[in-house]
Amino acid sequence: MNISIIGATGYSGVELVRLLLTHPEANIVAVYSNSQTGKTMQEVYPHLMHIFTDDLAEIDCARIREEADIVFIATPSGVSGRLVPQLLDGKLKVIDVSGDFRLATPDLYQQWYGKETAGQEYIDKAVYGLSEWNAEAIKETKLLANPGCYPTATLLSLLPLLQENLIDGKSIIVDAKSGVTGAGRGASLGTHFCEVNESISAYKVGKHQHTPEIEQTLTQLTGQDVLLSFTPHLVPMNRGILTTSYASLKDGVTVEKIAGAYAKAYEGKPFVRLRPGEYPKTKEVYGSNYCDIAWHVDERTGRVIILAVIDNVVKGAAGQAVQNMNLMFGLPETTGLAFTPVYP
């Protein structure tokens, strides 16, 4: 497979490079960046010395259509909405790692992202790439909307319980914690080491753009009515997301039913590890494509608390994108992704 990457200098882009370099079927033919055009990847990321030293080219959709079998777009939001119409032509497959094709309508996107994306006809072509839940559609699509980092952990946590009708969709609260790579590589006071280190804080309470992505997908895939609170937090670490999700159990739901729902949902899914009663640490999936899920039933309150951890740059971005690429090209899901977490 010949591969192009647009936005290769962001954290998701450079992680795509890392993963694809050891993928047995992948061949990176070109990397593109508008902000760093003319530099080599090694100049922007010295850790790639002797490994990947290609020049960063200006984005050229015609060249990509010609050279590549698949293109990954790992730009900030608001870019791929404009690029995709120029790319979707002929054999080229597109995986958009940004948020531009995830929400059901341009209006919803405008409301939560505060900017414009593609028209409805392009959004309608996109398949949502939650690999474990949407594999059949993923295999057929030419335009894939790769899930957001927070939605990945949240959806994998909640879908089994909603699908089996075990929890109340209106009772859900998701308290999420992320490492700083989630904020991107752009320099700002909010990502300054001294302002983040030895501190934790919430942000965008009630306003984060991943909220509608989570709600919409839960409803689409399970038919349940869902309205939830989602609160992201910034944690002084580079990588990792932990979501702590709370939901009220429906009457008569037992621990066994919960365990059964998870077992049924994730049987044969190589990247989901079920750890009932445990306390997964984000470090335990560091650098890998795993999502570890634990659950705890609190009989006092009638709630289930679900803990899920991912590496936000891997399963929450580049890793799941490669997993989806594998599905789109008929390869085993794990091809090029069999990384043991780097611990500690």
* Active centre residues (catalytic): 149
Contacts of 39 (CB under 8 A, 6+ apart): 55, 56
Q: Does 194 bind a second copy (CB under 8 A)?
A: yes
Contacts of 20 (CB under 8 A, 6+ apart): 3, 5, 26, 28, 322, 336
Closest CA to 237 of 203, 201, 196, 204: 196
In whole angstroms, how close is the CB of 141 to a second copy at the nearest point? 29
Cβ proximity to a second copy: between 31 and 297 the closer is: 297
Q: Segment near a second copy (CB under 8 A), from 118-126, 139-147, 183-191, 317-325? A: 183-191
Determine phi and psi for 162, rounding to 5 degrees.
-75, -40
Q: Segment near a second copy (CB under 8 A), from 81-89, 148-156, 185-193, 318-326? A: 185-193
> What residues numbered 260-299 form the site for a second copy, per CB under 8 A?
270, 273, 275, 278-287, 292, 296-298
Closest CA to 313 of 305, 321, 301: 321
In whole angstroms, how close is the CB of 228 to a second copy at the nearest point? 7
DSSP state of 214: H
Place of tokens 């398949």: 127
Other CB atoms within 10 A of residue 261 CB: 21
Place of tokens 């795509």: 16
> What residues numbered 145-174 form the site for a second copy, per CB under 8 A?
173
Q: Which of 31, 48, 59, 153 binds a second copy (CB under 8 A)?
A: 48
In whole angstroms, how close is the CB of 202 to a second copy at the nearest point? 5
Cβ proximity to a second copy: between 106 and 302 the closer is: 302
Q: Which of 25, 37, 38, 49 binds a second copy (CB under 8 A)?
A: 49
Q: Which of 126, 145, 162, 235 binds a second copy (CB under 8 A)?
A: 235
Give the integer Cα–Cα distance in Å for 172 and 158: 9
Binding mask 236-255 for a second copy (x = CB under 8 A): xxxxx-x-x-x---------
Give the integer Cα–Cα distance in Å for 93 and 329: 10
Q: Does 300 bind a second copy (CB under 8 A)?
A: yes
In whole angstroms, how close is the CB of 104 to a second copy at the nearest point? 17
Give me the sheet containing 201-202, strands edge to edge: 201-202, 229-234, 173-178, 241-248, 303-310, 291-298, 272-274
Q: Does 206 bind a second copy (CB under 8 A)?
A: yes
Q: Does 69 bind a second copy (CB under 8 A)?
A: no
> What residues numbered 5-44 form the site for a second copy, per CB under 8 A?
11, 14, 17-18, 21-22
Task: State how far the alpha carbon of 328 is from the alpha carbons of 1, 100, 186, 309, 312, in Å.
Answer: 11, 20, 31, 25, 22
Q: Does 336 bind a second copy (CB under 8 A)?
A: no
Cβ proximity to a second copy: between 122 and 295 the closer is: 295
